[in-house]
Amino acid sequence: MERIYSSNGLVDEFIAGLNPFNGNPTIYALNESVRKNKVTVSFPQRLIPYLEKKRKNTTDQIQKAILEGFLNHLQSGRIQVVLNPKPLKAKLTIRKSILEDINYATGTSLVIETRLTQKDPVNDLIKLLGCHLFTELNLPLHLLSGLFSSHTLPTISQGTDFSWQSYLRDFVVFTNEITIVDSYILKNPESFANLVQIVSLFACLPFNHKISLRIITKNLSIPLSEIQEKLSKWINEVRIYKPRPTAEFSFHDRWLITDQWILNSPAGFNLIKSNGKSTHETTPVLYGRYSYSDDIWIQNTGKLESLIQDQCELVK
């Protein structure tokens, strides 16, 4: 089970999210993931006296019941407080209160810190933590809901104007790697233009962060050197895998995988013709890494690694 850390800045929203009728949809989805034992959430130790005071002072019976539910999560271990933070050994020009919170975040797979600004050394924090750090700078809180649930995205109609930038812009997340599984994404220059458009989406993230790209495909007509050159603005490494001649290539559907979600596009990702029109009708589905509704992330990332290891060879 993966562990998520959040600073105290999110506590009130998290508590409110226990009420599905009066909470942030992101926090409600996160609560469901917690309740169904998909993840644990850690808050700093000072959360406990804050909650006790809040419960003592409230006269609203509904709010008191919600606080009781939150405290029950604490007792079950599905929400944790970090009692012995490991101090980060680094000289950072950052507010003391945030640095104290970040010390609590070591050992987690996802950190939600709502108080960072453009003046803070976010790049340095990401490197120190070795995990994924979400702030209001790189992803508005309401868009985080995609990490904790699954979304059926709008149907892409054949023959209509379409661009990946507008279609996926609300789901762009910080990621160290992108993997795309599509037998035809490098079949010709028109298909490759779709890949360029998808990869360029992640260039809108702050922090000047370059990512690694893996492509699993059957058809490769674009030279590797051209792929590397055209993607070099956003990508620091490109690895292309093709099925071995004797392999049974078992990924029929097409997948786009980041560190935080997996997107299934049944008709593929080479959907845009040179005239900007879509070539097929398809309804993609996005599955968050910490989704409470299914295990698509675990099943397909595991299947993918086995596929690469057992049935593919690296193109050089």
Dihedral angle sign, alpha carbons of residues 7, 8, 9, 10: positive
Whose tokens are 């990512």? That residue is 211
Q: Where is the domain boundary, 84, 112, 146?
A: 146
pLDDT of residue 206 exceeding 60: no
User: Has residue 83 got a pLDDT over 50?
Assistant: no
130, 227: one domain: no
Do 141 and 156 belong together in one domain? no
| Residue that terminates a domain, selected from 146, 167, 194 | 146
Boundary residue ending a domain (100, 125, 146): 146
SS3 for 15? helix
8 Å CB contact between 167 and 263: no
Range(s) of the domain holding residue 246: 151-314
Which residue in the block uniquely carries the two structure tokens 């750090």?
133
Q: Does 23 share its domain with 100?
A: yes
- What would the mean pLDDT of 197-205 be, rounded to a whole number? 80
CA distance 25 to 130: 27
Per-range mean pLDDT, top range of 51-65, 138-152, 205-219, 235-249: 235-249
Number of compact structural domains in the chain: 2
| pLDDT for res 188 | 92
pLDDT tens sequence across 29-38: 777 777 777 7
pLDDT for 293 equals 66
Supply 79's token pair.
């929400």
Same domain for 48 and 184, yes or no, is no
**Average of pLDDT values for 260-276?**
90
Q: The domain spanning residue 88 has which CATH number?
A: 3.40.50
3-state secondary structure of 133: strand
pLDDT digits (tens, 9 = 90+) for 169-190: 878 877 888 999 998 999 999 9
174 and 295 together in one domain: yes
User: Mean pLDDT for the chain?
Assistant: 78
Q: Of all residues in the chain, what percent carry a pLDDT higher than 90?
A: 24
Same domain, 169 and 118: no
